[in-house]
Amino acid sequence: MHKLTGSVLLSLVAATPAFAAGDVFFSLTNTDFVVTLAFILFLVVLVYFKVPSLLAGMLDKRAQGIQDELSEARALREEAQTLLASYERKQREVQEQADRIVAQAREEAELAAEQAKADIAKSLERRMAAAEDQIASAEASAVREVRNSAITVAVQAAKDVMAKQMTDAEANKRIDASIDEVSAKLH
């Protein structure tokens, strides 16, 4: 340290413009000399109170603090990347599960649609059979009604024809014959 101070003092003394100009440099009236002495005294006071080592220690502490912060930032970055990878993996798993659920729902919907089609076809068959039964029943009923109407009309026509052709005497004969026939069958 003393070598450094001496070399600084020697370089300052040797390099002054007043020394080069030939004036008396080592006089208290020379401002360059006074400034040089004050600067050298300042440097000596700094060295005496160990300011350079304090500054170096502070700089070392600051560098260590920065290094610690960088290490912590790296650790946090690695942790964040791990979390990101984990979340991306979970997202892929959830997406795959959602795709499976959608595919299963589509399959179930298709099966339900096919079942509904089959149910509708069966229902249509039952309704067609019921309708055919109703048509057959209505047809039979209509045939019966037509037959009954035809019989009624035929009986009425026969009655009218017989009423026109029959006289009172002949009617009495027939009534008597019918009474005899009924009595013969009853006894």
Q: Which residue has the higher pLDDT, 17 or 138?
A: 138
pLDDT digits (tens, 9 = 90+) for 85-127: 999 999 999 999 999 999 999 999 999 999 999 999 999 999 9
Q: Is 2 helix (H, G, I), strand (E, B) or coil?
A: helix
Q: Which residue has the higher pLDDT, 87 or 159?
A: 87
Number of structural domains found in the chain: 1
Q: Is residue 7 part of a domain?
A: no
How far is the C-alpha of 152 from the C-alpha of 92, rounded, in Å? 87
Q: Is residue 174 part of a domain?
A: no
Q: Is residue 67 part of a domain?
A: yes
Range of the domain at 42: 30-167
- Whether 47 and 24 have beta carbons less than 8 Å apart is answered as no
pTM of the model: 0.39
Q: Is residue 2 part of a domain?
A: no
- pLDDT at residue 18 tops 50: no
Residue with tokens 């610690």: 68
- pLDDT computed for residue 3 by the predictor: 56
User: Using only C-alpha atoms, what is the Rg of the chain?
Assistant: 67
- pLDDT computed for residue 167 by the predictor: 74
Q: Is residue 3 part of a domain?
A: no
- What is the DSSP secondary structure assignment for residue 24, as one 8-state letter? -
Q: Is residue 113 part of a domain?
A: yes
Q: Is residue 70 part of a domain?
A: yes
Q: Which residue has the higher pLDDT, 108 or 182?
A: 108
- pLDDT at residue 23 tops 80: no
How far is the C-alpha of 12 from the C-alpha of 6, rounded, in Å? 10
Q: Is 27 helix (H, G, I), strand (E, B) or coil?
A: coil
How far is the C-alpha of 31 from the C-alpha of 23, rounded, in Å? 12
What confidence tier does 6 reach under pLDDT thresholds 50, 70, 90?
A: low
Mean pLDDT of the chain: 85
What confidence tier does 176 reach under pLDDT thresholds 50, 70, 90?
A: confident
- pLDDT at residue 24 tops 90: no
How far is the C-alpha of 159 from the C-alpha of 132, rounded, in Å? 39
- pLDDT computed for residue 175 by the predictor: 84
Give residue 104's Cα distance to chain centre: 16
- Give the angle subtended at the CA of 185 by the CAs of 181 and 187, to the nearest 5°: 120
Q: Is residue 177 part of a domain?
A: no
